[in-house]
Amino acid sequence: MLDLFDRPLRDLRISVTDRCNLRCRYCMPRDVYGPGHEFLPRAELLSFEEITRLTRVLAAQGVEKVRLTGGEPLLRRDLERLVEMLARIDGISDVALTTNGLLLAGKAHALADAGLDRVTVSLDALEDDALRAMSDTRISAARVLEGIDAAAQAGLRPVKVNMVVRRAVNEHCVLAMAAHFRHTPHVLRFIEYMDVGSTNGWTNEDVVSAGEILQLLGERWPLERLEPAREGEVATRYRYRDGAGEIGLIHSVSQPFCGSCARARLSADGKLYTCLFARRGHDLRALLRAGASDVEIAERTLGIWTARADRYSTERSSTTPRPAGPDDVARVEMSYIGG
């Protein structure tokens, strides 16, 4: 199943909730997601059975890897039951999770026992002041680190740690983060601040490019480039020449990787999005609840993917101002479809 640029569908990101216990300024700014914000009612969320059915249909069309996201996915009750259901699907070789880590210490072993293969934890600083500036929440890095340790002890190795870097907010924490995760089995990945959605106030001046980060790290610890672990991998990999481990750089702003994107995203209420920067999704929940057969759902998803022409990051990099979409509809927010 190939889209208009001959890209296959291999990875499915599944948002299980639009709720989160943080208010990171680049994802869920508090002035938008404050006390009066209305999150999705439970009845509008896909059930675990509905998620599993859609995943099974997409697995028959080429999806091999699934990643559970949010919002914060560990806020979804009994998530380990969904992990177990997805891990049993023929064709699914990898079930992963992205989390902010605040609840991970108490969940890691149950998730691993259910069949979770990998976990990625978001941690934007070790320094509490910088972490709170990024998350707009009074949290401590120690709690997240406890979750990372629990995941490793549960066998979810290597843990990937994602750090979004924003100029003048936490860029001064890059070396401290690298120093902390050197000589550990974890893989620290630095992410350029992206213009996902329409509410995070993104400007290009806020972006610390992957090139700047690489230069900063390389001046302290010599690095060498590694080959991609698999086709379509979004992070450019490097290892420390002294053998102290591996890092990754995710550079969708400065060096877009749209040409190899093989991901689709399923929102918590059952809409399929073919790009992180999409403006519209395709309602699969309506098909499910109207009694559509697996064949009808497969025909719908086939039509969606084969008509796909998304390459927002490439267009953004070559266009000023940023490209507008059909009717200039606001882009979907990251908290709704996951990263």
Whether the upstream peptide bond of residue 185 has omega within 30° of 0, thus cis, is no
pLDDT over threshold 90, residue 4: yes
pLDDT at 329: 63
Q: CA 134 to CA 126: how far, in whole Å?
A: 11
CA torsion, points 20, 22, 24, 30, in degrees to nearest 10? 90
- Relative to beta strand 246-250, strand 187-192 is parallel
Q: For residue range 189-206, what is the model confidence (pLDDT) as tens digits? A: 999 998 887 888 888 899
The predicted structure's pLDDT at residue 326 = 46
**319 touches 313 (CB < 8 A):** no
User: For 153-192, what is each residue's pLDDT tens digit?
Assistant: 999 999 999 999 999 999 999 999 999 999 999 999 999 9
What are the φ/ψ torsions at residue 90 (nearest 5 degrees)?
A: -60, 130
CA distance 223 to 218: 6
| Residue 318: per-residue pLDDT | 54
Contacts of 301 (CB under 8 A, 6+ apart): 57, 58, 61, 272, 284
Mean pLDDT along residues 148-156: 98
Distance CA 178, CA 249 (A): 12
The residue type of 71 is: G
Amino acid at 48: F
Mean predicted confidence (pLDDT) in 36-48: 96
More confidently predicted of 51 and 336: 51
Q: Determine the Cα–Cα distance for residues 15 and 271; give it in Å rounded to an integer.
A: 10
Q: What is the reported pLDDT for 133? A: 96
Q: What percent of the chain has pLDDT over 90?
A: 81
Most confident of 25-39, 62-76, 308-322: 62-76
The string of DSSP codes covering 112-141 is HHHT--EEEEE---SSHHHHHHHHSS---H
Q: Is the pLDDT of residue 27 over 60?
A: yes
Contact 151, 191 (CB under 8 A): no
Across the chain, mean pLDDT equals 93
Distance (Å, whole) CA 116 – CA 104 = 13
Residues 6+ apart with CB under 8 A from 124: 24, 130, 131, 134, 135, 163, 164, 165, 170, 173
**Interval 312-336: pLDDT, tens:** 888 876 544 444 444 446 788 878 8
pLDDT digits (tens, 9 = 90+) for 252-297: 888 888 989 999 999 999 999 999 888 899 999 999 999 999 999 9
pLDDT recorded at residue 277:
86
User: Residue 305's closest CA among 280, 279, 328, 272?
Assistant: 272
Report pLDDT for 325.
47
Reading the block at residue 220, the tokens are 């302290």
User: Of the CATH numbers 3.40.190.290, 3.20.20.70, 1.10.15.40, 3.30.230.70, which one belongs to the domain with range 11-337?
Assistant: 3.20.20.70
Does 51 score more than 90 pLDDT? yes
Q: Would you tell me how many other CB atoms lie within 10 Å of the CB of residue 234?
A: 17
